[in-house]
Structure 1
Amino acid sequence: MNEVISTILNHRSLRHFEDQPLTDEQIKTIVSCAQAAPTSSFVQAYSIIGVKDQERKRKLAEIAGNQEYVAINGHFFVFCADLYRHQLIGEHHQKEVLPSIQSTEKFMVALIDAALAAQNAAIAAESMGLGICYIGGIRNNLEEVKQLLKTPERVIPLFGIAVGYPTKLTGQKPRLPFEHIYHEDEYEQDQEVYLEQLKEYDELISNYYRDRTGGKRTDSWTEQMAAMLEKQSRMYMKDFVQKNKMDLR
């Protein structure tokens, strides 16, 4: 197993960091690795906002549900879907690009581009001995995040990544079984097989929590998912996206 694969397979979300900033060279390396990710048709429909200002980080931490590690870390990156520059390109070349920019397809391209770039950044950071944690909680209030980061129309902050020197290592949560994720030639639709795989995974996750908490927690993965999905969260998202002129046509 080479070092790249070892780094990827060793991933775990870390939430306790030293209050020590990354160097400018480390930040540039991580962003350069993000930019090396594949991008659909070379569109490069994303931007990354690095947040150094401690007051901004504190406000982002509050928005994200008072997550302390959003404020205390080595650096906080916010990944954005970005079609603003493409609007300017159309204006510069006097081409009618808005119908394309406002399509669901280009919105998906921007989301995918940002996600690919972010994962490259995450792997790069971890390969440097740093810890990372993705932060979706900034979507709790994107209007406030946009004002805080001064993003223009056609730019949607999607998630953050807290990066830093870890002070506490956590266990690695077992993922779904390979056979449940990987389908050969066609999607497995035998519900008995499907549910049996989930049952086995539930037992694995329950045992993981039991061992980790000394028996204080034993819930299964499907119990977690059912409880989470029963609660409607961030239901404002469609209106927010359309308000920011990504109309999803």
Structure 2
Amino acid sequence: MMTYKAIETILNHRSIRKFKNQKLTVEQVETIIEAAQYASTSSYVMAYTIIGITDEKLKEELAAVSGQPYVKDNGHLFVFCGDLHRSEQLGTSEQQNAMQESLETSEQFIVATVDAALAAQNAATAAEDLGLGICFLGSLRNDINRVNELLQLPDKVIPLFGLAVGYPDHQPEQKPRLPLEVVYHQNFYQPFEKQLPLIQEFDENLKSYYAKRTSNKRVDTWTAQITRKFSNPIRLDVTPFLKMKNMNKK
């Protein structure tokens, strides 16, 4: 039977939160970035910038924001930013003024966010294909203003998330995903009543997974996690931050 390396790599994904004390080589970093650059991009805007963090003091500052040690202890740390600043700077002063209304819209904020996410997923897959492990870091938004200050980001550039990459120092079990029928609907959105039995079955499977895994065993379900998460609003400073950066205003 024919095998597909990329699909095998994707389906073998798991988040790595403990890395060996070994830095990535320049060649590895550049390969990962090049893979990111070949992700699809809306209208060829390439509305993202990737910042590699090599300064150990800066990594410590970012780890303090996140509360996660693997923001500091990894082979290389990337921060993915939505970037409309580069586009804003093009052209004459008159052209730049004419672009402002468009650049401040929710549509262009979505474009920058999606562009960065697509690039990051390419980077993650490339890293895993190189035998490395990865972990996405939304926790950098725990204090988005502080990250903005640390990285000296100009107007219309926002830190979206980090990506820790390195040599895995553990091999966690792969966490189950929702059933295909819950996330893939044909032709129109399926009523929640049809999804619910599948989610309930998934809850039982996840409960079994948590009970059997080798570390951090617990009694929990997906339903309980989601209801806990959205019952406690977090990062409420992100919305005013975006407006302060002149993004997602209209």
TM normalised by structure 1 equals 0.96
Q: Does 1:16 align with 2:15?
A: no
Give the counterpart letter for 1:33 in structure 2.
A
User: Which has the larger displacement, 179-188 or 89-98?
Assistant: 89-98
Match of 2:175 in 1: 173
Match of 2:73 in 1: 72
Tell me how far apart the structure 1 counterparts of residues 167 and 179 of structure 2 sit (CA, whole Å): 31
Match of 2:41 in 1: 39
Give the counterpart letter for 2:220 in structure 1.
D
CA displacement 1:121-150 (0-9 Å, x = unmatched): 000000000000000000011111111111
Tell me how far apart the structure 2 counterparts of residues 215 and 133 of structure 1 sit (CA, whole Å): 17
Count matched residues: 247
From 101, 107, 110, the counterpart of 2:109:
107
Q: 1:215 to 1:144 in 2, by over 3 A?
A: closer
Tell me how far apart the structure 2 counterparts of residues 231 and 43 of structure 1 sit (CA, whole Å): 36
Match of 2:205 in 1: 204
TM normalised by structure 2 equals 0.95
State percent identity of aligned pairs. 48
Query: How far apart are residue 216 of structure 1 and its match?
Result: 4.8
SS at match of 1:94: helix
Tell me how far apart the structure 1 counterparts of residues 70 and 216 of structure 2 sit (CA, whole Å): 26
Tell me how far apart the structure 1 counterparts of residues 15 and 216 of structure 2 sit (CA, whole Å): 22
Match of 2:129 in 1: 127
Tell me how far apart the structure 2 counterparts of residues 248 and 198 of structure 1 sit (CA, whole Å): 36
Q: Does 1:143 align with 2:145?
A: yes
Match of 1:88 in 2: 89
Mapped contact 1:107–1:248 kept (Cα < 8 A): no
Q: 1:214 to 1:124 in 2, by over 3 A?
A: closer
SS at match of 2:213: helix
Q: Where does structure 1 lack aligned partners over 5 or more consecutive residues?
A: none
Give the counterpart letter for 1:68 in structure 2.
P
